[in-house]
Amino acid sequence: MSAVTGRPSREFISQFMGEFRRVGITQFLLYPRSGCELEYLSEEWFQAIQNVLDAAEAHGYTSIWLYDEFNWPSGQCAGRVMQAREAFAVQCLYARKNSQPRASREALLSCVSPLGRKKQPSEITFELKSLKQFPNLLNPEAVELFIQLTHEEYYKRFGKYFGTLIKGIFSDEPSVAYYYEQYEGDSDTEVRLAWYPELEEEYRELTGHELKEDLRAHLQGTAPFCYRVPYQKLMGARFRKTYFDTIRTWCENHGILLTGHLMNELDCQAARYNGDPLLANAGFSMPGMDEIFTNTNPDAIEWQTLGTVEYGSRQRGCGLAELFALGPGDMQPGSYKQMIWLTALFGVDHYLLAVSQFQAEGNLHKTMWFNPTSPAQTWFDHYDQLGETAKEAARFARKPWNKVEVEIRYAEDFSNQPYYLRLMTRYQRSWRFIHKDDAASKDALAVVTFQKDGSIYDEISKKTFFDMAAFMLYLDINYCQPFRVMNSRDTLARDVMLRYYDDGTCVALDLREPDAPTRRLHFRIGPNPDRDIIFNLPAGDIKIFHDTDQPSADFVEYALDLPDAPWEIVLDRKNILCPEYDAEGTLRLTVAKDTPCPKALIRAYGVPGAVRMDGTPISASNPGEGLPQGVAPLYRTSETIDLESGRHTLALDGKKTEYPYLPSAFLLGNFAVKMVRPGEMTIGPLPKSVRLGPLSEQGFRNFIGKATLTRTVNIPETADALRLETAGHCASVAINGQNLGCRLWAPFDWDIPTDIKGKDTTLQITLEIPIATLFGKERLHGQIIAPAHDIHPAGLYAAKWVERR
């Protein structure tokens, strides 16, 4: 997913896309985003799209995907739809209980009817509002205008590519309820509903009730009938017909697919945003989801989102997931693999890596996150490994499941639904959503509905279970699982997800944090432990089994730490310092004796950075250097700054805004960096050697790039492999100049060639430090969205010789 930012030239586009093709990527989705300096849908914009298509043909891409909006949400055409007509903006019905003081006796007497009965003063008011900041996707004419302004304009210029190079168009988070974003939800005094002209008549036909009267009764606390369920049914049908069916039909008539994802599929508010989430998601030609937080811990995984996309992908035969956008940028590659496989086990066979900006101009506007899946990331050259695991995951995503154990009728208003889904997964039971109007599968073991009181009703057994534990016990007693993963203590392994398929294969996915220890587990086929297959499962990894696999004997691994000694260190580029200012915007910088003098990199984009060294402004006019792709062009480099040893001050010049991912300045040079406290740092001579542990604490605080550690070692005769602990970050190994390859995820094991065992050798370990390290964690604290899991700094934490028996 590539964000078109800046004003990219034809040459830049070709070079940029060539880099992706070099690492095996053949599909490209264009995303107009903040930081784009081309007027959206102008002739200059369309020329940039033509340049992309030309580059795609030249480099041998298979697919280009368009994006139907500028930023998001889709349906507005950068605000032009709402500007065309008032009815093309979201229409919202407000029902409010008046907060006026209690009526006086005289006022009450004036409300006496001719028959002498007192009339109650009206307590509820209704108001229809047009909210101009969001499009009305329930209005067919507004949707038609959106198609004319976007889809038709693309087809007019690039129609010859539709269905060949251009495969589809992406719709991002369309919703009927964006007004809800700044609203806490229905309360005792107010209800807000998306509205369309036919709503009240359709509600009357469906229920025999008047919508406003049901809202009045709800707010007065006398409601014998809940308006929510019929309202959501009507809203779901309208949203599906007006938006998804209309645009999908246009796309399919023009030879392309409609893909994308909904807004907020993950909890009980999904129905408010989408009417009927299952119905809406299945309205895509290629149903999709997003999981931009990268929650891989079972307690945080978006189980409801995954179940929703699985329902849609089952209807359409394909699925898409937008992943990784919030990163963070130092997330371990193993989390990428883990998330790709997690979505694949729910039928997703296309994985959209977000976000790759052409250049980093968007960091000035979208300040909360920066996770470039682009050449800016230091391990980008190894994306081919990510591509290979994605291909294998997609192959499993397309396989038919074996008998589904539990079918769940999707509950729009059951808040504990995600929790129950998590429990079933931890019990290694397979489940999937079905719509409340769908017929159940003939071979399902149970077809359940989650009741509002937390109980579980099963349509097949006609039983009601008090909680999930009782229901799981019922399944265990009555239905033996064909495959299970057990601990060595013969208990069910937690945090392992199983999916088994018609062809007899089974995938076990570990759902622990990437730095958790490897586990010894037993894969059991049927009830007999004599058929156990004993295996190691690293955190976040997958293991694939077949029902024809033979039982295996237990095995033993002996690990011997390499003797503790310094490692010579060599960097592939200069070190860098990202200043940690105090509250007044000042950094007290101590320069040690014999420290090479640095250069300054000053931001030249947007509001130019301005800093002073010891009170003197630093000028910078040379091209940016030492920064990642896309970031360097936004900076200018100064001449070398002569700094004597001792105390100096680096200060922001005036009240300049600091951006988390586009700081005002960096310092660049062959020096070591140490953080004393916020507002105080030191630089000194670059160390020639390091010990085990994070490199950020050994003088390389903000360094990104390749750090090669070298030492002479004697390889034991009995050693079968070298095992490293790198906190899950990318590492490569060479022995005596022989490259043994790169590892992106566990196990970080390299087999030892037989001819060098028992000999003294030169061991080289190259660590690739990810891009987020450039900006420093303390600087970003409280300013960025917190990652879903702990990220440990890159470094060599342990090195062991492994003997297997």
pLDDT, average across residues 407-422 = 93
**pLDDT score of 503:** 94
Question: Bridge partners of 4?
Answer: 32
Q: Give CA separation, 116 vs 95, 111, 112, in Å.
A: 30, 9, 6
32-68 pLDDT per residue, tens? 999 999 999 999 999 999 999 999 999 999 999 999 9
Confirm if 636 and 624 have CB atoms less than 8 A apart: yes
HEC sequence for 320-365: EEEECCCCCCCCCHHHHHHHHHHHHCCCCCEEEECCEECCHHHHHC
Confirm if 86 and 118 have CB atoms less than 8 A apart: no
Q: State yes or no: pLDDT of 110 exceeds 70.
A: no
**Cα(679)–Cα(651) distance, rounded to whole angstroms?**
10
At 790, is the pLDDT very low, low, confident or very high (cuts 50, 70, 90)?
Answer: confident
At 99, is the pLDDT very low, low, confident or very high (cuts 50, 70, 90)?
Answer: low
Q: State yes or no: pLDDT of 28 exceeds 50.
A: yes
**pLDDT score of 770:** 95
**pLDDT score of 120:** 54
* Amino acid occupying residue 226: C
Residue 42 in tokens: 């102008």
Confirm if 377 and 771 have CB atoms less than 8 A apart: yes
pLDDT, average across residues 662-675 = 96
Confirm if 732 and 741 have CB atoms less than 8 A apart: yes
743-787 pLDDT per residue, tens? 999 999 999 999 999 999 999 999 999 999 999 875 565 566 777
The one-character DSSP state at 495 is T
H or E segment to which residue 58 belongs: helix 43-59
Task: State residue 473 phi and psi, 5-degree precision.
Answer: -65, -40
Confirm if 324 and 292 have CB atoms less than 8 A apart: yes
* Amino acid occupying residue 280: A
Average pLDDT over all residues of the chain: 92
Q: State yes or no: pLDDT of 526 exceeds 90.
A: no
Question: How many other CB atoms are there within 10 angstroms of residue 481's CB atom?
Answer: 18
**pLDDT score of 778:** 59
**pLDDT score of 554:** 84
Per the listing, tokens 């909904």 go with: 262
E-strand stretches of 494-566 = 496-500, 505-510, 519-525, 533-537, 542-546, 557-561
pLDDT, average across residues 289-308 = 94
Name the more confident of 707 and 788. Answer: 707
267-288 pLDDT per residue, tens? 988 999 999 999 999 999 999 9
429-457 pLDDT per residue, tens? 999 999 999 999 998 999 999 998 999 99
pTM of the predicted structure, to 2 decimals? 0.94
Confirm if 301 and 257 have CB atoms less than 8 A apart: no
Distance of CA 245 to the CA centre of its chain: 27
**Cα(348)–Cα(346) distance, rounded to whole angstroms?**
6
At 687, is the pLDDT very low, low, confident or very high (cuts 50, 70, 90)?
Answer: very high
**Cα(189)–Cα(544) distance, rounded to whole angstroms?**
55
**pLDDT score of 567:** 98
pLDDT, average across residues 241-248 = 98
Please tell me the total number of residues recorded for the chain in this structure: 805
**pLDDT score of 180:** 63
Question: How many other CB atoms are there within 10 angstroms of residue 23's CB atom?
Answer: 15
pLDDT, average across residues 364-392 = 94
Q: State yes or no: pLDDT of 104 exceeds 50.
A: no
| Interacting residues of 278 by C-beta distance below 8 A, sequence separation 6+ | 308, 311, 312, 410, 433, 435
Per the listing, tokens 């992106």 go with: 744
For residue 253, count CB atoms less than 10 angstroms from its CB and return exposed for 0-12, middle for 13-18, buried for 19 or more. Answer: exposed
Question: Can you state the angle between helices 303-316 and 333-344, rounded to 10 degrees?
Answer: 50
Distance of CA 440 to the CA centre of its chain: 32
**pLDDT score of 112:** 45
pLDDT, average across residues 106-120 = 45
* Percent residues over pLDDT 70 in the chain: 95
**pLDDT score of 102:** 46
Question: How many other CB atoms are there within 10 angstroms of residue 603's CB atom?
Answer: 25
Question: Minimum mean pLDDT among 256-270, 313-327, 514-528: which range?
Answer: 514-528
Distance of CA 122 to the CA centre of its chain: 48
Question: Which strands form 749-751's sheet, in the order they lie side by side?
Answer: 557-561, 798-804, 721-725, 749-751
At 587, is the pLDDT very low, low, confident or very high (cuts 50, 70, 90)?
Answer: very high
At 222, is the pLDDT very low, low, confident or very high (cuts 50, 70, 90)?
Answer: confident
